[in-house]
Structure 1
Amino acid sequence: MKTIPRLNFAHLPTPIEDLPRLTQALGGPRILVKRDDQTGLAFGGNKTRKLEFLVAEAQEQGATMLISAGAIQSNHCRQTVAAAARFGFDCTLVLTGEKPKQASANFLLDQLFGAEIVTVEDRKDRDRILQETFDKAVAAGKRPYLVPYGGSSPTGTMGYTFAMEEFMNQNRKVDWIVFGTSSGGTHAGLVLGQRVFGFKGMVLGISIDEPEAQIKAHVSELATQASEKLSEQIQFTSDDVLVNENYCQAGYGVFGEGEREAIKLFASTEGLLLDPVYTGRAAAGMIDLIRKGFFKKDETILFWHTGGQPALFADKYSQDIIRE
Structure 2
Amino acid sequence: MNKIRYHRRKYTQGHTPIERLERLSKELGGPSISIKRDDMLGLTAGGNKTRKLEYLVAEAIEQGADTLITCGAVQSNHCRLTLAAAVREGLHCQLVLSAPETGDYQPQASGNHLLFHLLGAEKIEVIPAEADLLAAMEELAESLRKQGRKPYLIPVGGSNEVGSLGYMACAEEIEQQAWETTTPYDYVVTATGSGGTQAGLIVGFMARQSNTKVIGINVSRDRAAQEAKVMGLLRSTAARIGLQGDIRAEAVLCDDRFVGPGYAIPTDGMIEAVRLVARTEGILLDPVYTGKGMAGLIGLIREGHFTKSDHVLFLHTGGSPALYTVPQLFLP
Over 3 Å counting, the alpha-carbon distance change for 1:297 and 1:232 in structure 2 is closer
Residue of structure 1 in register with 2:2 after alignment? 2
- In the alignment, what sits opposite 2:278? 267
- Residue 283 of structure 2 aligns with an amino acid whose one-letter code is L
- In the superposition, relative to structure 1, how do residues 81 and 202 fare at CA in structure 2: closer, same or farther (>3 Å)? same
Q: Deviations over 1:15-56 (max 9, x none)?
A: 100001101111121110000000021011000000000000
Q: TM-score, normalised by structure 2?
A: 0.93
Indicate the SS of the match to 2:165.
helix
Aligned Cα root-mean-square deviation (Å)? 1.4
Q: CA deviation at 1:232?
A: 4.8
Aligned with 2:128 (options 104, 121, 126)? 121
Q: Which runs of 5+ in 2 are unaligned?
A: none
* C-alpha distance in structure 1 between counterparts of 2:199 and 2:247, whole Å: 10
How far apart are 1:250 and its partner, in Å? Answer: 1.2
Q: Give the structure 2 partner of residue 321 of structure 1.
A: 330
Indicate yes or no: 2:178 matched with 1:167: no
- Segment drifting more, 184-193 vs 118-127: 118-127
Q: Matches of residues 57-206 of structure 1 in structure 2 within 5 Å?
A: 57-97=59-99, 98-115=104-121, 116-171=123-178, 172-206=183-217
Question: What does 1:5-84 align with in structure 2 at a 5 Å threshold?
Answer: 5-84=7-86
Aligned equivalents of 1:137, 1:190: Cα separation in 2: 35
Identity of aligned residues (%): 45
TM-score, structure 1 as length reference: 0.95
- SS at structure 1 position matched to 2:163: helix
**Structure 1: which 5+ residue stretches go unaligned?**
none
Moved over 4 A (4+): 232-235
Judged with a 3 Å threshold, the aligned counterparts in structure 2 of structure 1 residues 247 and 109 are, in CA distance, closer, same or farther, namely same
8 A contact 1:158–1:189 mirrored in 2:
yes
* Counterpart secondary structure, 2:59: helix
Aligned length: 321
Q: What are the Cα deviations for residues 152-177 of structure 1, in whole angstroms up to 9, with x where unaligned?
A: 01100000001000110012312111
Q: Is the 8 A contact 2:207 2:243 kept in 1?
A: no
Contact kept in structure 2, 1:208 and 1:281, CA below 8 Å:
yes
State yes or no: 1:289 paired with 2:300: yes
3-state SS, counterpart of residue 7 of structure 1: coil
CA distance in 2 between counterparts of 1:124 and 1:181 reads 22
Does the 8 Å contact 1:10/1:52 carry over to 2?
Answer: no
